[in-house]
Amino acid sequence: MLKSTILSLAYCLLFIPNAFFAQCVDGESELVAPYASTDSNDGIMFDITTTNEITIFCFDANLPSSTTGSYEIYYTIGTYVGSENTAANWTLVGSSGSVTSNGANTATPLDIPVNLVIPAGQTYGFYITASNPAQSTALLSTSNAGYGTISSNADLTISGGIGITYPFSTISPDKSFNGTVHYMPGSALPVEFIDFTAVKINESVLLEWGTEFEINNDYFEIERSSNAIDWNRLLTTKAAGESTSPKEYQEVDTEPLDGISYYRLSQYDFDGKQTVLKTVSLNNKLEIGPFEIRVFPNPVTERVRVFGSKNELESLRVFNSIGQDISRNLSILPHNGYSEVYFDNQQEGVFVLKTKTNSQIIIKK
């Protein structure tokens, strides 16, 4: 029931909640979509449907020979069909500023940690794309006869797909993804993440992340970069260690870089093993737009923060999954630059948060 509610709301609204992120590890399973290119596109969209719960760690792709370029990966809950040109329906997993091809029709690892847990029986859409087409980078694909199965095994099926001009622009139908999905059965993460966000607050950058559970978790590290290639340690944060309840973490970059910055969050076990979790970007010269909102955390256990302009948040309301306005049943506290909405008196389920011009899905766990 929860799955069908999420999927039906996702087609109507402008947000799909974030999930969990990590890196490729030794001993993972894999599913190969044949490297048999006949076409080249800025980006490729395709679906992954699970038979069993899996954790996707990373992708390899088919890239043109003798190229080095920048790439991004996005996902959406539910099929990509219907969301091809709607950027707001997609969540950015991460980006890499320098990926060098191993040659056409050969697997090239994309240096972008994914670590997305997909429950059994669900479909997620993926969008892998070159993010600077001026560099003449692209993804190689294979022409097909329409939406159908590209590759499958006992755990998952890859279906689709299309080529698409960056970003979320002109569609080239009937193109199959060439690449490798690296995954492990089950939820194979030392920590299960809710989200990692960077939001400009006055002259600083607020960095927040959360976990659902933690196992053998020593500390977190945040690195900062101006180009997503060269990284410097910004700060470390002591972790809970062992936890079966949700935890939230917060740090502040008091001296952010001018222009675009990249923040990379990593987790370290007590034995020193590092897991790269997620990379986010932020333009320090830009404030949140007058009609833009951001939320953290999502899914929510107790309260969610909604960042946006005073004008956008002045009519903030919350609806349950059957369309009833439950705002009066919730504690909504306005602050300078954001509002807090408390869901601690609500049962698990899907809610719709509406501001003056925006709508976002909130999941209560």
Q: Does residue 19 have a pLDDT over 50?
A: no
**Whether residues 207 and 178 fall in one domain:** no
**Whether residues 132 and 195 fall in one domain:** no
* Mean pLDDT (whole number) for 279-286: 74
**Whether residues 136 and 248 fall in one domain:** no
User: Residue 260 belongs to a domain with what CATH number?
Assistant: 2.60.40.10
289 domain-assigned:
no
CB contact burial 188-205 (16+ within 10 A = b; e otherwise): bbbbbbbbbbbbbeeeeb
pLDDT digits (tens, 9 = 90+) for 135-155: 778 999 999 999 999 999 999
User: Residue 85 belongs to a domain with what CATH number?
Assistant: 2.60.120.820
For residue 36, what pLDDT band results from cuts at 50, 70 and 90?
A: very high
**Whether residues 46 and 150 fall in one domain:** yes
One-letter amino acid for residue 54 of the chain: I
Please report which helix (H) or strand (E) contains residue 8, including its range. Answer: helix 2-10
Cα radius of gyration (the chain): 20
288 domain-assigned:
no
Final residue in a domain of this structure, among 226, 254, 283: 283
Task: Name 242's Cβ contacts closer than 8 Å, sequence gap at least 6.
Answer: 214, 215, 216, 217
Name the domain count of the chain. Answer: 3
356 domain-assigned:
yes
pLDDT digits (tens, 9 = 90+) for 299-316: 787 888 888 888 888 889
The pLDDT of residue 10 is 37
* Mean pLDDT (whole number) for 254-271: 87
**Whether residues 136 and 100 fall in one domain:** yes
Between the CA of residue 349 and those of 2, 90, 296, what are the distances in Å? 7, 21, 17
End-to-end C-alpha distance for the chain, whole angstroms: 14
**Whether residues 274 and 302 fall in one domain:** no
69 domain-assigned:
yes
Let me know: does 50 contact 15? Beta carbons within 8 Å: no
Nearest to 247 by CA among 203, 217, 223, 280: 217
Q: Does residue 189 have a pLDDT over 70?
A: no
* Mean pLDDT (whole number) for 278-296: 72
Final residue in a domain of this structure, among 158, 185, 212: 185
**Whether residues 20 and 64 fall in one domain:** yes
233 domain-assigned:
yes
For residue 181, what pLDDT band results from cuts at 50, 70 and 90?
A: very high
DSSP-assigned beta bridge partners for residue 304: 341
Tell me the C-alpha distance between 34 and 105, whole Å.
9
**Whether residues 174 and 75 fall in one domain:** yes
The pLDDT of residue 307 is 83
Nearest to 178 by CA among 59, 92, 97, 96: 59
Nearest to 207 by CA among 195, 216, 218, 198: 198
274 domain-assigned:
yes
**Whether residues 255 and 120 fall in one domain:** no
CB contact burial 236-250 (16+ within 10 A = b; e otherwise): eeebeeeeeebbbbe
Q: Does residue 109 have a pLDDT over 90?
A: yes
**Beta-carbon-side half-sphere exposure of residue 89 (alpha carbons within 13 Å):** 24
The domain containing residue 20 runs over which residues?
2-185
Burial class, 34, CB count within 10 angstroms (exposed 0-12 / middle 13-18 / buried 19+) = middle
Mean pLDDT of all residues belonging to the chain: 84
Name the strands in the sheet holding 204-214, side by side, starting at the edge strand that comes first in the sequence. Answer: 191-201, 204-214, 247-253
Between the CA of residue 95 and those of 69, 72, 74, what are the distances in Å? 11, 4, 9
Q: CB neighbours (10 Å) of residue 11?
A: 14
35 domain-assigned:
yes
What DSSP character marks residue 310?
H
The pLDDT of residue 8 is 38
330 domain-assigned:
yes
Let me know: does 129 contact 166? Beta carbons within 8 Å: yes
CA torsion sign for 226, 232, 238, 242 is positive
User: Residue 313 belongs to a domain with what CATH number?
Assistant: 2.60.40
**Whether residues 237 and 324 fall in one domain:** no
For residue 94, what pLDDT band results from cuts at 50, 70 and 90?
A: confident
Pairing mode of beta strands 123-130, 91-100: unpaired
**Whether residues 18 and 128 fall in one domain:** yes
Q: Does residue 9 have a pLDDT over 50?
A: no
Of the candidate ranges 20-24, 74-78, 114-118, 264-268, the one whose mean pLDDT is the lowest: 20-24
Q: Does residue 18 have a pLDDT over 60?
A: no
**Whether residues 118 and 222 fall in one domain:** no
Of the candidate ranges 11-15, 39-43, 157-161, the one whose mean pLDDT is the lowest: 11-15
Final residue in a domain of this structure, among 214, 249, 283: 283
